[in-house]
Structure 1
């Protein structure tokens, strides 16, 4: 079993973003059974965000967590909770200065209200105006005081990981990893995966399903107004259709394996985790999808070679985000 922040977790975690960061927040009557199902399926590493909600407050994700553990207090000790913060809630711009970091952590702790210990506080992005050493030094104070269990980073370069880790051990590094986002395994970004493996830092793989694209069930015209994917380059008209060729190729492998496209995509990340600790955190808003996502499909080396050949033939069109957000990736 992999460990994060010195606690055992299942091979597949759960991302809570989709429950609240959408035009219509998922009601508790639906969200609570989904969370309980995730835990029952062994997905006890939960990834949340201070800003995973709708304007102007943005904190609906944390409020949901508070209500859940108020209703199910016995589950608190079973879950390893990581919360992203360090973001200006008005502008969603990274804020890594001491005052802003303390404000963010204190706000997270206030909303959780002791219902759940904060196992990891994670800087959502690196503030380009503040040396990462200064940000980590503030977080280290909270670890020493016992207010948080560990420190996480998200979308950081290998150099930033090393600089941060030299100040205080990093509990986890979160980055987008999927069949159409394999940057951390390439030299393009300075070997993020290799650096994490060398330093013994688990990788948390968000969006292993490409924000629904790799399920093979998403259609561009079905993305609702207000959905943040509408602003992402890979989902724009023309790019979406060209990128869909990778799904068409991979569907043949899924059919042969007798699994869904989602299971194949997550299975690929799980197979990559045989080389180092990588924990995919697919999100889902229904119990059925949680069960599907947590049914591990074993892939052979032959399967992996076939997948690599298919993916290698398709040039993915568009960045992972938009022009503004791309500037904060792998910083």
Structure 2
């Protein structure tokens, strides 16, 4: 294993390519991993939201981790989402991912159940204690309907329970409080933004890295942004971020009158990867609605404008 002691840089949440009959397309997955590695990324996060983890059967989740870990062969750390409703189910996923060779776990708060902050605290402590693996909290209130308070994150960080935070909450003040709060108090803790569009701002306030879904489509761009920021070249970082902001407009290619945001965004990412020749099929998992030909043309225009075709 390549367990990260302090995870930094660009760690894309890897999409899961599918065959037309909704099985994991391992050949396309390997090409996507090679594409990301060639782009200079610093780690890989499988089985997150961009991976459609919520839609995959358990054996499909396992196939994704097996495929990526075997192919990467220790070149980069592989983080695996262990995302489910309650602690026992998360532990099942966690053990499977670790048995496959994942280096760390990414875990949301429990959901569906009505969960008290004390129970969320216990959830993370149990997962960390029972697996012995680095655990990254995934703050995703739009999906799990619980916001991870910065006080809770800081307590778990100070106690050595959490190795880091993937903040996809959109709460920049909360992220900043975590960044400031762990400084000098939680060695090795990684504060990572899940935003595609505010990466330069997050890095300027001290975030350690970025986990951008759009990084599947343009890993080179996010690597350029990150490296420019780390070198103090904020003008280049800003210019790159603004190009990526325009490219991110592809997530609205789907017609909101006939599909939800997940279908539109994930469909756009996969359509873009298909158009770029990285994956064989742009299919998404049921019950998501596929993009039609006109919507795919909108994605293609975004790629062309960004210089990616």
Partner of 2:178: 195
Match of 1:84 among 71, 81, 84: 81
Partner of 1:116: 101
Q: Any residues of structure 2 matched to 1:206-285 within 5 Å, and which?
A: 206-208=194-196, 265=197, 268-270=198-200, 272-283=202-213
Partner of 1:154: 139
Q: 1:274 to 1:76 in 2, by over 3 A?
A: farther
Does the alignment pair 1:107 with 2:104? no
Partner of 1:232: none
Q: 1:85 to 1:128 in 2, by over 3 A?
A: farther
Q: Any residues of structure 2 matched to 1:1-331 within 5 Å, and which?
A: 5-7=4-6, 9=8, 11-17=9-15, 19=17, 27-49=25-47, 52-53=52-53, 55=55, 57=57, 60-70=60-70, 72=71, 75-87=72-84, 94-95=85-86, 101-110=87-96, 112=97, 114-123=99-108, 125=110, 128-130=114-116, 131-143=119-131, 146=132, 148-155=133-140, 156-165=148-157, 167-176=159-168, 183-186=170-173, 191-200=174-183, 201-208=189-196, 265=197, 268-270=198-200, 272-283=202-213, 289-296=218-225, 298-300=233-235
CA contact (8 A) 1:50 1:58 kept: no
Q: 1:162 to 1:195 in 2, by over 3 A?
A: same
Question: Cα deviation per residue 1:230-261 (whole Å; 9 max; x = unaligned)?
Answer: xxxxxxxxxxxxxxxxxxxxxxxxxxxxxxxx
Question: Cα deviation per residue 1:41-65 (whole Å; 9 max; x = unaligned)?
Answer: 3313222237834747265344122
Aligned-CA RMSD value: 4.2
CA contact (8 A) 2:139 2:166 kept: yes
Question: Cα deviation per residue 1:101-139 (whole Å; 9 max; x = unaligned)?
Answer: 2442333432x4734233234235566425223212312
CA contact (8 A) 1:85 1:124 kept: no
TM-score, normalised via structure 2 length: 0.56
TM-score, normalised via structure 1 length: 0.53
Query: How many equivalent pairs are there?
Result: 222
Q: Is there any run of 5+ residues in structure 1 with no aligned partner, and where?
A: 88-93, 96-100, 178-182, 209-264, 311-319, 323-331
Partner of 1:246: none
